[in-house]
């Protein structure tokens, strides 16, 4: 175990295990009172709430429902009013290393101008606005501007394809897209606006009437008169003040699409009040954010981590944070370490995949090893998105954290809005590979299929017993799917996370053992196997049938492995390689490059039982390259196992 230092235990917001336990006890003895106290302390309300939790229409829970507030007021105005107007809110580190600092006053003015520009183009409270942007101050301001006028944003990660973007715009019924001409990543100019054009082609998204385009690179783009407007033109002449739209606490702040176990991504809907509370609270306690910190979360604003720990949490607390445009390997694999040194970052939050790939790079090239950079400013490290293996944890701790920085291994999900199970840096003793204990007030537990508690030391299903403020409110447009996915009737009204977990017999510490559904986690990116299967079979010219499973991968955590039956004879050699490439490109076009299968295996057919069910467990063994030990006697055609042994 690694214990917090004496100094950390004294100065942290949650100082020592006794303080942690006191908070847990407070939540246990008066659950609503605990959250109400924190909601009054951390959030500024226009109209104070009088009701805390409404469970009448469970599982559609409501928190602080009669309170009104505005998220952008909480993140910007109130900091300016508190005298932080000149404080740096965002240090923008561009792909090429150029730095732009934006103060709270400037971010407020830009947000207000954009809010006014949105209003001028008819965007109203409750409208959905899609943001398809790279990492930029403008991206954060766009989210804040939507929040300011009560529009619900839906950020789509800039790596998603035109088809994925179109699906999301249609599902959300978005009235506008805010985008950039191109994005810069690793010295390359990659299209954004061209993908928006393709997504909107042929009137496929009739609700979407406007496209606002931030000029990032000045690259060549097509223009649709009457629909497209440059951001700088839309902002010209707009006032730098804008009265916030005071919305009810349950007003939807955002939708964020994520993968589930069907082929169709779901629009996870988050609230305003409860979400903001947890974003601010977890930033304060898990990262122990203080006024002088320089906070850096390396996630993209297209993922939930970027929402909570870039666009909202640190700003709600008046912090200073880095917004990083580039990639960890450009100009070389020391970029993270050099950037930490350059900006004297104190809190650094990244994903295990990034750490693992930077370990590899550092091991083969001394020049990019973290020891070449002065990382003495760091005081807290974080990990998110997937399990961190103990070896990567130890390296991160020793070589990045200099052996002195606690690592907060934060378990949470798009649906949970913020951290659920995590160490607190000035309190929790750490065990590599464990996300340790629930955040105070979060009733995480491990149960069996019927919702009965299982003893520590025995694995089971991860659930959350009581509703919490930042939880998902519904799946946009599909409340039935929300109930079925997260509140299945056999689980006694508990929230089903979709992960398996185990608690240590002695410490009660949690370790996440992986998804229990058909969701894969590749480089911390969540993807549904069914989604990739539908993309493959939509290549109707080539593909007759496809099955997708995950297999362990040293760097990306999991890798996508696709088993494919073609409409033509099973290929081999160069022909198989060429078809595999065509299929990868196809999936990239349908979903995005992150969904490209790493392995493609061809068979005359897929292993099925005599009743016609694809034997997925068997496919997982084949994908891992393991000897097949399962009973194959029910297999229709045992000979195909050998065919599937070859990956392209
Ligand atoms: O399987 C868990 C894994 O990521 C899933 C959630 O993915 P997403 O909604 O994309 O959100 C990722 C960022 C919060 C979870 O169901 N996961 C996330 N954090 C951890 C993790 N697995 C193990 N340890 C973690 N710290």
- CA of 521 from ligand 1 middle (Å) equals 8
Does residue 297 have a cis peptide bond before it, meaning omega lies within 30 degrees of 0? no
Q: In the predicted model, what is the mean pLDDT of the chain?
A: 96
pLDDT in tens, 187-212: 999 999 999 999 999 999 999 999 99
Confidence at residue 637, expressed as pLDDT on a 0 to 100 scale: 76
Nearest ligand 1 atom to alpha carbon 409: 26
Nearest ligand 1 atom to alpha carbon 411: 26
Ligand 1 pocket mutation, candidates 300, 464, 526, 528, criterion most atoms within 8 A of CB: 526
Q: What is the mean pLDDT of residues 257-264?
A: 86
- CA of 351 from ligand 1 middle (Å) equals 10
Q: What is the mean pLDDT of residues 230-255?
A: 98
Residue nearest to atom 4 of ligand 1 (CA): 385
Q: How many CB atoms lie within 10 A of CB 490?
A: 10
Per DSSP, the three-state class of 203 is helix
Q: Is the pLDDT of residue 264 over 90?
A: no
- CA of 379 from ligand 1 middle (Å) equals 24
Q: Is the pLDDT of residue 608 over 90?
A: no
Q: Is the pLDDT of residue 617 over 90?
A: no
Q: What is the mean pLDDT of residues 155-181?
A: 97
Nearest ligand 1 atom to alpha carbon 388: 24
Domain ranges of the chain: 523-644
- CA of 223 from ligand 1 middle (Å) equals 39
Q: What is the mean pLDDT of residues 74-93?
A: 98
- CA of 279 from ligand 1 middle (Å) equals 16
Report residue 446: phi and psi, to 5°.
-120, 130
CB 232 within 8 A of CB 215: yes
Task: Give 75's contacts (C-beta < 8 A, 6+ positions apart).
Answer: 144, 147, 312, 315, 316
Tokens of 75: 């993140």
| Cα 457 from chain centroid (whole Å) | 29
Q: Any idea of the CA torsion for 332, 337, 339, 345, to the nearest 10 degrees?
A: 170
DSSP 218-272: -------TTTEEEHHHHHTT--S------EETTS--EEEEE--SSSS-EEEEE-S
Using the 8-state DSSP alphabet, how is residue 358 labeled? H
- CA of 413 from ligand 1 middle (Å) equals 5
Residue nearest to atom 8 of ligand 1 (CA): 413
Q: Is the pLDDT of residue 635 over 90?
A: no
Q: Which residue has the tokens 């939880």?
A: 471
CB 419 within 8 A of CB 411: yes
Tokens of 267: 């629009």
Query: Which residues, listed in sequence order, are joined to residue 501 by a DSSP beta bridge?
Result: 460, 512
Nearest ligand 1 atom to alpha carbon 514: 1
User: What is the value of pTM for the model shown?
Assistant: 0.95
Query: Which residues, listed in sequence order, are joined to residue 558 by a DSSP beta bridge?
Result: 552
- CA of 385 from ligand 1 middle (Å) equals 4
- CA of 338 from ligand 1 middle (Å) equals 27
Among residues 604, 606, 600, the alpha carbon closest in space to that of 580 is found at 600
Tokens of 613: 């069910």
Q: Is the pLDDT of residue 642 over 90?
A: no
Report residue 603: phi and psi, to 5°.
-135, 160
Confidence at residue 151, expressed as pLDDT on a 0 to 100 scale: 98
Confidence at residue 387, expressed as pLDDT on a 0 to 100 scale: 92
Residue nearest to atom 23 of ligand 1 (CA): 387
Using the 8-state DSSP alphabet, how is residue 558 labeled? E
Lowest mean pLDDT among 30-39, 378-387, 521-530, 621-630: 621-630
Confidence at residue 316, expressed as pLDDT on a 0 to 100 scale: 98
Nearest ligand 1 atom to alpha carbon 515: 1
Tokens of 12: 């942290």
Task: Give 83's contacts (C-beta < 8 A, 6+ positions apart).
Answer: none
Binding-site residue ranges for Mg(2+): 537, 543
d(CA 154, CA 146): 10
Residue nearest to atom 13 of ligand 1 (CA): 385
Q: Is the pLDDT of residue 123 over 80?
A: yes
Nearest ligand 1 atom to alpha carbon 512: 23
d(CA 379, CA 488): 42
DSSP 591-640: T-GGG--SEEEE-SS--BBTTS-B-HHHHHHHHHTPPP-S--TTBS-TTH
d(CA 606, CA 623): 13
Does residue 331 have a cis peptide bond before it, meaning omega lies within 30 degrees of 0? yes
- CA of 374 from ligand 1 middle (Å) equals 30
Query: Which residues, listed in sequence order, are joined to residue 530 by a DSSP beta bridge?
Result: none
Q: Parallel, antiparallel, or unpaired: how do β-strands 407-410 and 228-230 relate?
A: unpaired
Percent of the chain whose predicted confidence (pLDDT) is above 70: 100
- CA of 95 from ligand 1 middle (Å) equals 27
CATH superfamily of 523-644: ANL, C-terminal domain (3.30.300.30)
Ligand 1 pocket mutation, candidates 269, 349, 386, criterion most atoms within 8 A of CB: 386
CB 61 within 8 A of CB 53: yes
Nearest ligand 1 atom to alpha carbon 526: 10
Residue nearest to atom 21 of ligand 1 (CA): 386
Q: 253-292 b/e with 16+ CB inside 10 Å = b?
A: bbbbbbbbbebbbbbbbbbbbbbbbbbbbbbbbbbbbbee
Question: What are the respective helix, strand and coil percentages of the chain, to the nearest 5?
Answer: 35, 25, 40
d(CA 401, CA 377): 10
Nearest ligand 1 atom to alpha carbon 421: 26
d(CA 596, CA 40): 46
pLDDT in tens, 446-495: 999 999 999 999 999 999 999 999 999 999 999 999 999 999 999 999 99
- CA of 524 from ligand 1 middle (Å) equals 7
d(CA 103, CA 269): 30
Ligand 1 pocket mutation, candidates 485, 512, 552, criterion most atoms within 8 A of CB: 512
Q: Is the pLDDT of residue 632 over 80?
A: no
Binding-site residue ranges: 185-188, 305, 385-387, 409-414, 499, 515, 523, 526, 537, 543
- CA of 520 from ligand 1 middle (Å) equals 10
Interhelix angle 162-172/573-590, rounded to 10 degrees, is 30
- Pocket-forming residues, ligand 1, beta carbon under 6 Å: 258, 304-305, 384-387, 409-414, 435, 497-499, 512, 515, 521, 526
Residue nearest to atom 24 of ligand 1 (CA): 387
Query: Which residues, listed in sequence order, are joined to residue 92 by a DSSP beta bridge?
Result: 100, 323
pLDDT category at 599 given cuts 50, 70, 90 is very high
d(CA 304, CA 281): 16
Residue nearest to atom 2 of ligand 1 (CA): 386
CB 529 within 8 A of CB 550: yes
End-to-end Cα, the chain, rounded Å: 43
Residue nearest to atom 26 of ligand 1 (CA): 411
Confidence at residue 626, expressed as pLDDT on a 0 to 100 scale: 87
d(CA 446, CA 437): 12
């Amino acid at each position: 175990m690694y214990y917090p230092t004496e100094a950390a235990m004294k100065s942290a917001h949650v100082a020592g295990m006794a303080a942690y336990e006191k908070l847990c006890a407070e939540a246990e003895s008066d659950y609503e009172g605990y959250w109400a106290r924190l909601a009054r302390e951390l959030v500024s309300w226009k109209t104070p709430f009088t009701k805390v939790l409404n469970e009448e229409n469970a599982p559609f829970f409501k928190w602080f429902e009669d309170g009104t507030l505005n998220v952008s007021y909480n993140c910007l105005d109130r900091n300016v009013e508190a005298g932080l107007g000149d404080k740096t809110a965002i240090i923008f580190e561009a792909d090429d290393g150029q730095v732009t600092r934006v103060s709270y006053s400037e971010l407020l003015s830009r947000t207000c101008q954009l809010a006014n520009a949105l209003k001028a183009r008819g965007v109203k409270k409750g409208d959905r606005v899609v943001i398809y942007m790279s990492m930029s101050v403008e991206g954060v301001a766009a989210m804040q501007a939507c929040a300011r006028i009560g529009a619900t944003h839906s950020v789509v990660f800039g790596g998603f394809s035109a088809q994925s973007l179109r699906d999301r715009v249609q599902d959300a019924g978005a009235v506008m897209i805010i985008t950039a001409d191109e994005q810069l990543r690793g010295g390359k100019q990659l299209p954004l606006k061209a993908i928006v054009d393709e997504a909107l082609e042929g009137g496929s998204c009739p609700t979407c009437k406007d496209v606002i385009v931030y000029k990032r690179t000045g690259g060549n783009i097509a223009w649709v008169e009457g629909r497209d407007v440059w951001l700088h033109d839309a902002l010209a002449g707009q006032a730098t003040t804008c009265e916030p739209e005071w919305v009810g606490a349950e007003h939807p702040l955002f939708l964020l699409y994520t993968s589930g176990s069907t082929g169709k991504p779901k629009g996870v809907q988050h609230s305003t009040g409860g979400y903001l509370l947890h974003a601010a609270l977890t930033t304060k306690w898990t990262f122990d954010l203080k006024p002088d910190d320089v906070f850096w979360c390396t996630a993209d604003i297209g993922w939930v981590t970027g929402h909570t720990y870039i666009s909202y949490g640190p700003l709600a607390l008046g912090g200073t944070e880095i917004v990083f445009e580039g990639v960890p390997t450009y100009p070389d694999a020391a970029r993270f370490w050099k950037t930490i040194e350059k900006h004297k970052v104190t809190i650094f939050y990244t994903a295990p995949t990034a750490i693992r790939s930077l370990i590899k790079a550092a091991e083969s090239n001394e020049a990019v090893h973290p020891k070449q950079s002065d990382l003495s400013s760091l005081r807290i490290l974080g990990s998110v998105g997937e399990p961190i293996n103990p070896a990567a944890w130890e390296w991160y701790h020793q070589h990045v954290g200099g052996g002195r920085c606690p690592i907060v291994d934060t378990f949470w999900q798009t649906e949970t809005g913020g951290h659920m199970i995590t160490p607190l840096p000035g309190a929790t003793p750490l065990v590599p590979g464990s996300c340790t204990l629930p955040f105070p007030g979060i009733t995480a537990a491990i149960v069996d299929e019927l919702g009965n508690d299982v003893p520590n030391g025995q694995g089971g299903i991860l659930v959350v017993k009581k509703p919490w403020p930042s939880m998902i409110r519904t799946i946009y447009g599909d409340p039935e799917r929300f109930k079925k996915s997260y509140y299945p009737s056999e689980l006694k009204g508990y929230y089903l996370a979709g992960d398996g977990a185990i608690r240590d017999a002695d410490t009660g510490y949690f370790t996440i053992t992986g998804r229990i559904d058909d969701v894969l986690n590749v480089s911390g990116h969540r993807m549904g196997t069914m989604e990739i299967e539908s993309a493959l079979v939509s290549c109707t010219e080539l593909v007759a049938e496809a099955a997708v499973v995950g297999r362990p991968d040293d760097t990306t955590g999991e890798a996508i492995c696709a088993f494919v039956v073609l409409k033509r004879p099973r290929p081999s050699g160069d022909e198989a390689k060429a078809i595999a490439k065509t299929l990868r490109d196809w999936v990239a076009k349908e979903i995005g490059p992150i969904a490209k299968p790493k392995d493609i295996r061809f068979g005359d057919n897929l292993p099925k039982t005599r009743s016609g069910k694809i034997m997925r467990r068997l496919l997982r063994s084949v994908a891992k390259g393991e000897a097949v030990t399962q009973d194959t006697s029910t297999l229709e055609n045992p000979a195909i196992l050998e065919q599937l042994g070859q990956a392209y």
